[in-house]
Amino acid sequence: MIENPVTKALQPFDFTHLIDNVPKVKKLDYAISNVQFEPPIDSSNMNPTHWAHIARTIEENYDRFDGFVVLHGTDTMAFTASALSFMLEDLHKPVIITGSQLPIGEVRTDGEENLITALQVAAATDEHGDAMVQEVAILFENYLWRGNRSTKMSADNFNAFSSNNYPALAKIGLGITFNEKALYRSPSRRPLKVRCNMDTNVMFLELYPGITHDTLSYLLHTPHMKGIVLKTYGAGNSPNEAWFTEAIKKAIDGGIIIVNVTQCVSGGVNDTLYDTGNCLNKAGVVSGRDITREAAITKLMYLFGMQLSNEAVKKYMGCSLCGEITL
C-alpha cells in the first residue's frame, strides 16, 4: 500500500519498479523476474479468481524458477496462503507470501526487509541441494509460518502473523534458522497439479450469547449453501438446547456440511469433552480439530470445487491434506 497524496488514504501500490527501488535486492545473486497483476488491488478485495490467477502464474513458471515470492496485503494474506496450499497439489518448491504493515514509501516501512528475507528463504536449499521450503508459507518480520496454519494477530505490530497451533518454520534474526523438523514434505513425488475451481457456496457462522432461533434458521437456510464453518466456543462448544441442535441437525440432514472450528486463537476442537460439544458431534457436525478459520473455509471451497460427494468432503475435512491439521 502507499499513501494517496491528496486523500491521505492508503491505496494499492504499483509494484512494476519495486525491485529497482529496493537497492539491497541487487546485492542478492539471484535471477529475479516479476509479474504484476493488473489492476493492483487492496487485499480486502481478494477472491478465488485472484487466487486462481496466482496459482496459474506459478504453474506457468514452475519449471523456470526455484521458488516464488508473492507480495500481498496483510488483511487477507492468511486466506490466500491457505487457499494456495490446497490449490497447489504436490508442491515441491517454496511459495513465500509477504507484505508490510507500514506502506511502501514510509521511512520505517517493514516491506523492504520482508521482501529481501522472503527472497532468501525462497532461494534456500538443504544439504542435498533441494529447496529447504517446499510449501506455501508466510514470511513476516521475525518468523516464517506455514501458510495454512497462520492467522493475522495484530493490526499494528510488525510481527503481525502467528501460528498458535504449529511451530515456526524458521526464525529470522542475524541469520535464518530453519526448523527442519517442522517443514512439510509432500509424500508424493508427482508433478505439480493446480486446481483452480473453488466453490464459494460456503460461509462462516459465528456463535454468540443471544443468538436466536430465527437468526440461526435464516443463516442455515441461505440459498445454495453447501458448507458452513461453525465458529464455536472454547473446545468446540455450543448451546445444547433442543431448538439449537435440532436446527443444526435439520441443516445437515438437508445436505449442508457443517465444520466445528473454535473461536479461540489457539487450541482446537474436542467435541467429546463437554456435553455442549458432544451434542454437535451427535448431530453430525464435522470436527475441525485445530484447523484455522482461514484454512477451514478455503479447504471447503477447494473440496466442493472438486465436485466430491458429501461423504468424501466430510472425510477429507477430518484429515490433513498438506499439514493444515494436527492429527
- Among the three residues 194, 227, 257, which one is the final residue of a domain in this structure? 194
Q: Are residues 145 and 91 part of one domain?
A: yes
On whether residue 326 sits in a domain, the answer given is: no
For residue 161, give its domain range. Answer: 2-194
Question: Tens of pLDDT along 153-163?
Answer: 999 888 899 99
**What pLDDT is attached to residue 111?**
74
Of 171, 194, 217, the residue that ends a domain is 194
Whether 144 and 12 share a structural domain: yes
Confidence of residue 308 (pLDDT cuts 50, 70, 90): very high
CATH for 126: 3.40.50.1170
Co-location of 287 and 225 in the same domain = yes
| Percent of the chain residues past pLDDT 70, beyond the cut | 91
Same domain, 8 and 134: yes
Q: Minimum mean pLDDT among 37-46, 174-183, 190-199: which range?
A: 37-46
C-alpha cell at 166: 504449529
* Residue-wise pLDDT tens digits, 98-134: 998 876 666 677 778 899 999 999 999 999 999 999 9
What is each CA distance from 263 to 76, 106, 221, in whole angstroms? 18, 35, 22
pLDDT exceeds cutoff 90 at 143: yes
pLDDT band at 283 (very low <50, low <70, confident <90, very high): very high
In this predicted structure, what is the pLDDT of residue 110? Answer: 75
| Number of compact structural domains in the chain | 2
The answer as to whether 327 is a domain residue is no
Whether residues 33 and 177 fall in one domain: yes
**Residue 158's pLDDT is what?**
86
Strand-pairing partners, residue 24, are none
One domain for residues 65 and 180? yes
Q: Which of 277, 271, 255, 256 is nearest to 205 (CA)?
A: 256
- pLDDT of 139 strictly over 90: yes
Does residue 185 sit within a domain? yes
Q: Does one domain contain both 28 and 171?
A: yes
pLDDT higher than 80, residue 18: no
- Determine the average pLDDT of the residues in 259-271: 94
The lowest-confidence range among 10-19, 52-61, 67-76, 300-309 is 10-19
Q: Is residue 323 part of a domain?
A: no
Contact status, residue 238 vs residue 244, Cβ threshold 8 Å: yes
Structural domain includes residue 322 = no
Peptide bond into 40 cis (omega under 30): no
- Read off φ and ψ for residue 39, nearest 5 degrees: -80, 160
DSSP-derived pairing of the beta strands 68-71 and 95-98:
parallel
Do residue 251 and residue 140 come from a single domain? Answer: no
- pLDDT for 254 equals 97
Task: Give domain status of residue 71, yes or no.
Answer: yes
Q: Domain boundary residue among 163, 194, 225?
A: 194
Shared domain for 181 and 263, answered yes or no, is no
Determine the pLDDT at residue 62.
98
- In a shared domain, residues 15 and 149: yes
Does residue 242 share a domain with residue 133? no
- C-alpha cell read off for 287: 470436527
**Same-domain status, 145 and 211:** no
Question: In the predicted model, what is the mean pLDDT of residues 261-265?
Answer: 96
The answer to whether the beta carbons of residues 226 and 199 sit under 8 Å apart is yes
Q: What is the pLDDT of residue 167?
A: 98
Tell me if 137 is assigned to some domain.
Answer: yes
Over residues 203-261, the pLDDT tens digits come to 999 999 999 999 999 999 999 999 999 999 999 999 999 999 999 999 999 999 999 99
